[in-house]
Amino acid sequence: MHPFRYVAAGSIDEAVAVLREHGARARPLAGGTDILAQLRAGRFELDALVDVKGVPEASALRLGRDGLDIGAAVPCYRIYEDPDVSAAYPGIVDAASLIGGIQIQSRATIGGNLCNAAPSADSIGPLIVHAAAVTLAGPAGTRTVPVDSFCTAPGRTVLGEDELAVSIHVPRPPARFGAAYERFIPRNEMDIAVVGVACAVVLDRSGERIESARIALASVGPTPIVAAKAAASLVGGPPSADAFRAAGEVAADEASPIDDMRGTIGHRRDLVRVLTRRTLERAVQRASGGTASGNTGRGTR
Amino acid sequence: MTQAPLPKAHVRCQLNGQPVEFLADQHMSLLEVLREVLDLTGTKEGCNDGNCGACTVSMDGRIVDSCLVLAPEVDGRTIETIEGMAPPGGLHPLQRSFLEEAALQCGICTPGFLISAKALLEREPDADEHRIRHWLAGNLCRCTGYDKIVRAVLRAETAMAPKAAAGRTRRKKSA
Ligand SMILES: Cc1cc2nc3c(=O)[nH]c(=O)nc-3n(C[C@H](O)[C@H](O)[C@H](O)COP(=O)(O)OP(=O)(O)OC[C@H]3O[C@@H](n4cnc5c(N)ncnc54)[C@H](O)[C@@H]3O)c2cc1C
Ligand code: FES
Ligand code: FES
């Protein structure tokens, strides 16, 4: 491996200064579960890695009145081991508890998952349906980008060379909100999503109509796909099996999957149908006060 | 054009209960430091990319793949490796139950499984089979087929249970 400097940044300014000094030859380091493997495989070379785990804003997990702020360097276990976060942000907890195994979850961050921008990334769909936005810091100050417009291509994002992600803000969900994320993988754990589907719904007071819905698909396009038509098809209607099945059909049309070693186009569209229906069921169950989320260890296949 | 080599990282940490100080290249992994700088070869390298868990160690009480930790990240941390597991002159109950259940063949995966299982039993001394399998999903074994490993962990739970519970059949949590 090409030798690089390791810099433990203690502040945003320090991190930005090192990124600026090295340009494309430096990158932030969070849990290292993507970037260290990529460097070792010779995917690219760097002269410096800037560890952002010591940046206070990036390592804070804060649940406030207006929502949840997930520091970009907060590892997955801190999210799913927090009972308040688990109760309020079920879709995000679903993703945090299925990224990698326990060793990976000790280190891997949602910030790293987002910035790595793999089409199969498990946290991005849930962040999108939770209407999250990420705050970036660079030489010119900070800016905030909605997660649904953050990824631009596989492995590419709107991040500038001298910018880092500081934290992800997830607004406080309204009353009668529920969300869920499920993926299909050939094993029970430790694999890359062939397809992932995240859904969120808000029910009306009666619990018999869907007031709003959001659906995001992973691994069926170069970037996460917002299945806006499928979500719109649900609004104003009842949370019924028929409605979920119909939404799954629309979502399958909105997907643009490819054939690869993990699955074919047809298989992937089929999975979008099934997983859309299932995650909608779970989201509605959670919206009506049903089962909570959490790392129960039950694999979703 | 050749550049001056980067200075080595100077790292201080607690390792298996002892303060340790070492110099390492900044891009070296904790796994490389353990095996090549500190001569602690009990921690194994399988894949070197986070998939197999052979290199599992405990860092500040949480299990990590040491191949995905950089040496300088360890500064100020507490690390436990397989070399620190057995009490002087004996074996940890998990080590004994792995022998009794023949839960190893080539043994490359064993230190990683032991460190992972120990971390689980410290948190959840009653973990049921499903939970054990889930917790150990980040550890791969090419030889045993896993059943013997899971049985060994269950056996260690019984051996480690407080005396009061030892007589009766222990109830396992169902979720
Ligand atoms: C065995 C194994 C299993 C895995 N399983 C899954 C899985 O099930 N699902 C899944 O989605 N992924 C999985 N992954 C991939 C990886 O663990 C996740 O993508 C993880 O969330 C990455 O986070 P990290 O903190 O380790 O990122 P890092 O490796 O530290 O960084 C990833 C990328 O993001 C950039 N970056 C990190 N932090 C910042 C920041 N603050 N600002 C700007 N850029 C930043 C880095 O420069 C790098 O390019 C797995 C990986 C392994 C090794
Ligand atoms: S060697 Fe570290 S996980 Fe395989
Ligand atoms: S005993 Fe050989 S890999 Fe597990």
Residue B143 domain flag: yes
pLDDT tens-digit readout, A199-248: 999 999 999 999 999 999 999 999 999 999 999 999 999 999 999 999 99
According to DSSP, residue B172 is labeled: P
Mean pLDDT of chain A: 93
- CATH for A5-51 is 3.30.43.10
- The last residue of one of the domains, among B67, B84, B101, is B84
Residue A189's pLDDT is 67
Domain range enclosing B72: 9-84
Most B CBs within 10 Å, among A25, A81, A103, to test the B interface: A103
Say whether both B158 and B127 belong to one domain.
yes
**pLDDT at position A297:** 37
Cα(B149)–Cα(B99) distance, integer angstroms: 10
Taking alpha carbons only, the member of B138, B170, B165, B143 closest to residue B154 is B170
Residues B169 and B150 in one domain: yes
Q: CA B109, CA B43: separation in Å to the nearest integer?
A: 9
CATH assignment at residue B63: 3.10.20.30
Contact B26 A6 (CB under 8 A): yes
**Long-range Cβ contacts of B33-40 (<8 Å, 24+ apart):** B33/B71, B33/B74, B34/B66, B34/B81, B40/B15, B40/B81, B40/B83
Residues of B in Cβ contact (< 8 Å) with A106? 59, 62-64
Residue B159 domain-assigned (yes or no): yes
Task: Express each pLDDT in A3-28 by its tens digit.
Answer: 999 999 999 999 999 999 999 999 99
Residues B80 and B117 in one domain: no
pLDDT of residue B4: 75
Number of domains chain B contains: 2
Residues of chain A contacting residue B5, judged by C-beta atoms under 8 Å apart: 3
Q: Residues B109, B169: one domain?
A: yes
Residue A259's pLDDT band, with cuts at 50, 70 and 90, is confident
pLDDT band of residue A190 (cuts 50, 70, 90) is low
Same domain flag for B124 and B170: yes
Examine the fold and report which residue of B63, B84, B105 is the final residue of a domain before the chain moves on. Answer: B84
Q: Where in chain A is the domain with CATH 3.30.390.50?
A: 177-287
Nearest CA to ligand 2 atom 3: B50
Flag whether residue A142 sits within 8 Å of chain B, measured between CB atoms. no
B97: CATH: 1.10.150.120
How confident is the prediction along chain B (175 residues), in pLDDT tens digits per residue? 456 789 999 999 999 999 999 999 999 999 999 999 999 999 999 999 999 999 999 999 999 999 999 999 999 999 999 999 999 999 999 999 999 999 999 999 999 999 999 999 999 999 999 999 999 999 999 999 999 999 999 999 999 998 645 544 444 444 4
- CATH 3.30.465.10 positions along chain A are 62-171
Q: Are residues B71 and B103 in the same domain?
A: no
* pTM of the predicted protein model: 0.94
Q: What is the pairing mode between strands B78-80 and B9-15?
A: parallel
Which residue, among B133, B100, B101, has the nearest Cα to B117 in the 3D structure?
Answer: B133
Q: Please check whether residues B99 and B76 belong to one and the same domain.
A: no
Write out the CATH class of domain A62-171.
alpha beta
CA dist B2 to A98, A214, A264, B5, B6, Å? 44, 54, 48, 9, 12
pLDDT (average), residues A39-65: 96
ipTM above 0.90, yes or no: yes
Ligand nearest to the CA of B44: 2
CB spacing of B68 vs A36 below 8 angstroms: yes
* The pLDDT of residue A294: 42
CATH number for the A177-287 domain, one of 3.40.630.190, 3.40.190.10, 3.30.390.50, 3.90.1150.10?
A: 3.30.390.50
Say yes or no for a CB contact (<8 Å) between B63 and A107.
no
Do B119 and B143 lie in one domain? The reply is yes
Please report whether residue B112 resides in a domain.
yes
CA distance A265 to A65: 43
Reading the block at residue B96, the tokens are 């004994």
A24: DSSP letter: G
User: What pLDDT sits at residue A261?
Assistant: 83
Largest Cα–Cα distance of chain B, in whole Å?
73
- In which residue ranges of chain A is CATH 3.30.43.10 found? 5-51
pLDDT more than 70, % of chain A = 95
Q: Which has the closest alpha carbon to B131: B109, B157, B160, B101?
A: B157
Where is the domain boundary, B36, B65, B84? Answer: B84
Contact B68 A32 (CB under 8 A): yes
Q: Is residue B67 part of a domain?
A: yes
Q: How far is the CA of A85 from the centre of ligand 1 (A)?
A: 21
Query: Which chain A residues are Cβ-neighbours of B29 within 8 angstroms?
Result: 36
